[in-house]
Amino acid sequence: MDNPLLLIEQENGIYILTINRPEALNALNKGVFDALEAFFREHSGNYDVKGVIITGAGTKSFVAGADIKEFSALDTAGGSALSKRGQDVFFMIERFHAPVIAAVNGFALGGGCELAMSCHIRVAGTHARFGQPEVNLGLVPGYGGSQRLIQLIGKGKATEMLLTADMILADEALRLGLVTHVVESGQEVAKATEILQKIATKGPLAVQQTIQLINAYFDKTVDGFKKEYEDFGLTIGSEDSKEGAAAFIEKRKAEFKAR
């Protein structure tokens, strides 16, 4: 896929997606959403993909938000459609079979914070800033921010952030559980790669089903405990499970085949 708005690198099954609009602080526009959707749709279910890292071009911003220029002509129906499109793309990321890590290298505001929260794990540089400033524009979050922020940091602090539009620094994001690691600026992708390399040594079917189970906890239509025993049966009956048990007993590295 060739799209100047989304630069794609790949090494040993780990893909790095760089949102490439530095002149606009990597703001999300239709072209960026199209490129993200195309990538995750094309690679869905491909076990050659060991993991994905999403970051922003330059050193100032991960994604500074949605492209406000696209909002001016929208009416109620158009706004709802835009919001749903963004949510649909971010659900694709959240439900992707391989782990997706946001390497947050600067501002992650509005749609940028929402993009980061749709990833399975977040790594922040020391200069990262997080916030949902939509109320400053007379808006509510549109891409899942009102829901995922509460899931990640709890109702009280999420309510304060959503209503005041205040930004938080990387260290506070770590304390609140919004990110799992804070590293020196410029080391975000390296840390994310390290995490994905570790996960890549695990059983790919088990990784996929674990992601589904985590998502099931927040899905009111799914009985997470029932899904867990079903997925336990699914994985224990797999060739990978037999290989994992044999490797453990024989004290060797498992060679998983995703089947």
Catalytic residue at 134?
yes
The residue behind tokens 């939509």 is 134
Upper half-sphere CA count for residue 95 (Cβ side, 13 Å): 12
CB atoms within 10 A of CB 244: 19
Q: In what order do the strands lie in the sheet with 121-125?
A: 6-11, 14-19, 51-56, 100-104, 121-125, 181-183
CB atoms within 10 A of CB 47: 17
Considering 23, 42, 94, 134, which one is annotated as catalytic?
A: 134
Instruction: Give strand ranges (E) for 106-221.
Output: 107-109, 121-125, 129-131, 168-169, 181-183
> How far apart (Å, rounded) are the C-alpha atoms in residues 117 and 128?
14
CB 130 within 8 A of CB 102: no
Of 58, 63, 158, 57, which is closest to residue 119 (Cα–Cα)? 63
Considering 9, 37, 114, 184, which one is annotated as catalytic?
A: 114
3-class secondary structure, 98 = coil
CB 17 within 8 A of CB 54: yes
Catalytic annotation, residues: 114, 134
